[in-house]
Structure formats: C-alpha cells, structure tokens
C-alpha cells in the first residue's frame, strides 16, 4: 500500500487559502498512484485558538470538497484535523474519508496540550480512534496523543496495524517527535505514519519531519523542515510476521498490571 504525507505550511486563520494550497498538493500526490494521503493537524486554520469559533463555518464546506476529491481519485484521505463544533464546545477532530467519499471516522483529540492553551479553547474527546481502510484495521491520533503510550497501545491491542498521527509539532522538540514515533512503532509492532506541518505562526516554528516507520522501528521515509510530499510503501503482512516473531501481545500480564494500578 503506497502512502503519501503532505507537510504543508499554514496561513493562520485563512481556511480557503490553506485549502487551495493543500488541494494542489493532493492532486500532485494522486499522480503517484498512492492509496492513502495523510494531512497535518489543524492545517486549515493553524493555532488561532482565541478566534477559533470564527472559522467553524468554513470547515464543513472544505470537508465536503475533500469527500469529492477522495471519491473522484479513488484515494483514502486521513484528512488531518479540523476545529469542529460540538454541543459542549469546539473539538480538534481528525477526519478520515474513504476512497468512496464517505466519512468513516471523526476522532476528537482526547489529550489537550496545555502548553499551547488548548484546554482553554477546546473540548477533549471521549471516543477511540479506530477505523478500517480496505479491511485493514488502523487508528488515528492527534499530535499530543503521541506522548501517551497506554492510549496508543489500547488501539494496537484491538487489532490496529497502522497508527496514523497528524500534528503541529514544534521544531525545538523534534528529537522527541522522532524518538516517540519510533517507540510507538516498536512497542506496538505497527506501522507508524506521521504527518507534521511546517512553517511558522505568531509563537512557534514547526519542524516537518513527517515519517513512515515500519514495525521494527526502521524509517521508510522522512520529510525535511520544508513543504513537501513524502511517500512510502507499507505491507500489513509484515505486522503479522513481526508479531509472530516476538509475541508481546500474548506475553502481556494484564492481571499483574491491574494489581499495581489498584495498589496506587
């Protein structure tokens, strides 16, 4: 399965301009016969959280246009995340669109990043990130989720063979980004596909460095700090082979883990 990650720059608060930039890059990626395209976190708006409510109305139209693009090009879109209005507030929501143009997952980011004031402007999600791509179980996560291995592991234990991460990860912590992504691949014996934005906003510079990593933690493809598209091939059979070689899921000791949790 050939996958592309599009790491784009983002103009703060300019949803339509960001969409037009991304649309051209999606069409460019489609020409390479990819099956899945992955986009970054909040790529339509950036982190303009203080005025995020002003941009909610643009997102529905953009998502509808992405559905048409997915269907007309027979490609699955891991669409990155968008600010979405819910009953209790605005969520940072990852959207997955199938190759038939259907929304097959809307995952609300459950871990809000206090360092960028997400907890002041966004509501945390409560549901899992599991979905299917052509019969393959996968899971999607948003940026800060990467730092919570127990959350990621819960999805691999439910059968996920590919873990998708969409992010706006700052350049000063790129060593954490790469180390954590490799760790999530190795400890879950999964492919990891991670798409990060590039460029700057008023307070941050973002590092790009999008990555496709195999279940041994070997890097298949890695992006630069600039706008670009990276490509990589994954083979889900390799997940089964590696899980058969080192059967960590069979060797888990859930009963003992729970005893320790109860003792605290």
What are the chain's domains?
2-263 (3.60.110.10)
Burial 143-152 (b: 16+ CB within 10 A, else e): bbbbeeeebb
State the sign of the Cα–Cα–Cα–Cα dihedral 65, 84, 124, 168.
positive
* 94 beta partners: 81, 107
Active site residue ranges: 41, 109, 143
The vertex-160 CA angle with 76 and 214, nearest 5°, equals 80
Span 199-253, pLDDT tens digits: 999 889 999 999 999 999 999 999 999 999 999 999 999 999 999 999 999 999 9
Q: State the pTM of this model.
A: 0.97
Q: Is pLDDT of 13 > 90?
A: yes
- SS3 state of residue 259: helix
Residue 104's Cβ-count burial label (10 Å; 0-12, 13-18, 19+) is: middle
């Amino acid at each position: 399965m050939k996958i592309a990650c599009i790491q784009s720059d983002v103009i703060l608060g300019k949803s339509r301009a960001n969409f037009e930039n991304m649309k051209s890059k999606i069409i460019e990626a489609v020409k390479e016969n990819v099956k899945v395209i992955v986009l970054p976190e909040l790529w339509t708006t950036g982190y303009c959280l203080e005025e995020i409510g002003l941009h909610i109305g643009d997102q529905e139209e953009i998502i509808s246009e992405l559905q048409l693009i997915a269907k007309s090009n027979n490609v699955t879109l891991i669409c990155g995340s968008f600010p979405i209005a819910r009953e209790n507030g605005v969520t940072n929501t990852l959207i997955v669109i199938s190759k038939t143009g259907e929304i097959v997952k809307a995952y609300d980011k459950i871990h809000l990043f206090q360092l960028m004031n997400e907890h002041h402007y966004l509501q945390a999600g409560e549901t899992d990130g599991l979905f299917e791509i052509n019969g393959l179980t996968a899971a999607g996560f948003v940026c800060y989720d990467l730092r919570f291995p127990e959350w990621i592991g819960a999805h691999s234990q439910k059968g996920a063979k590919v873990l998708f991460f969409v992010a706006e990860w700052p350049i000063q912590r790129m060593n954490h980004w790469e180390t954590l992504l490799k760790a999530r691949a190795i400890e879950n014996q999964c492919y990891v596909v991670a798409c990060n934005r590039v460029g700057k906003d008023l307070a941050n510079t973002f590092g790009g460095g999008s990555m496709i990593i195999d279940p041994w933690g070997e890097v298949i493809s890695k992006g630069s700090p600039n706008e670009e598209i990276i490509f990589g091939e994954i083979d889900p059979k390799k997940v089964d082979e590696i899980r058969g070689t080192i059967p960590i899921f069979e060797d888990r000791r859930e009963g003992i883990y729970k005893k320790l949790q109860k003792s605290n």
